[in-house]
């Protein structure tokens, strides 16, 4: 019997404690979890895809999370799931607005391939407001982001902002 394999897609620009909470919880259900960072040409990202992959790997190591693969993809999520042999897509929900979007995406993905399930995790309450955008904004204006991201992510933000 093969181990259930899931992908956790997103922009991870950068990864936050909210994302890490979902990773930890998803690992309890899926022995094989792959973080799939989307390279969306229609969205301007703060970090390049390669930087996001490295920052994510560094954060996982810092948090003591092993056996989570990090990759990137372009195109349809369902095609990425096929390529990686995933039978499930993991997503996190913070608020009602997230639910509306995720519900629409889950139904679309089910239409594209009914064998791949979407599993939604409610965020931990303390992360319900947290987003990568908020982290970048707080950091950009000199705020302390240590309660939002691991120190390796904080350091990557500092380096990137110094280049700007």
The residues that are catalytic are 19, 43, 94, 132
CA dist., res. 71 & res. 35, Å (int): 6
In the structure encoding, which two tokens stand for residue 26, read together? 């998803």
In the structure encoding, which two tokens stand for residue 149, read together? 């991201």
CB atoms within 10 A of CB 84: 16
- Angle between helix axes 77-84 and 96-112 (nearest 10 degrees) is 60
- What is the DSSP annotation of 8-60? EEE--TT--HHHHHHHHHHHHH-SEEEEEEE--TTS--SS-HHHHHHHHHHHH
Give me the phi and psi of 147, to 5 degrees please.
-90, 0
């Amino acid at each position: 019997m093969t181990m259930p394999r899931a992908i956790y897609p997103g922009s991870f620009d950068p990864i936050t404690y909210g994302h890490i909470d979902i990773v930890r919880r998803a690992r309890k259900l899926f022995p094989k979890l792959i973080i799939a960072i989307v390279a969306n040409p229609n969205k301007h990202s703060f970090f390049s895809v390669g930087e996001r992959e490295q920052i994510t790997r560094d954060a996982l190591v810092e948090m003591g999370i092993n056996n989570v693969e990090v990759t990137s993809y372009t195109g349809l999520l369902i095609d990425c799931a096929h390529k990686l042999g995933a039978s499930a897509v993991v997503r996190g929900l913070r608020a009602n607005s997230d639910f509306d979007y995720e519900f629409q995406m889950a139904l679309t993905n089910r239409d594209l391939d009914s064998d791949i399930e979407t599993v939604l995790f409610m965020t931990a309450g303390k992360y319900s407001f947290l987003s990568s955008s908020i982290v970048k904004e707080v950091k950009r204006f000199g705020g302390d982001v240590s309660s939002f991201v691991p120190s390796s992510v904080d350091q990557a933000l500092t380096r990137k902002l110094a280049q700007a």
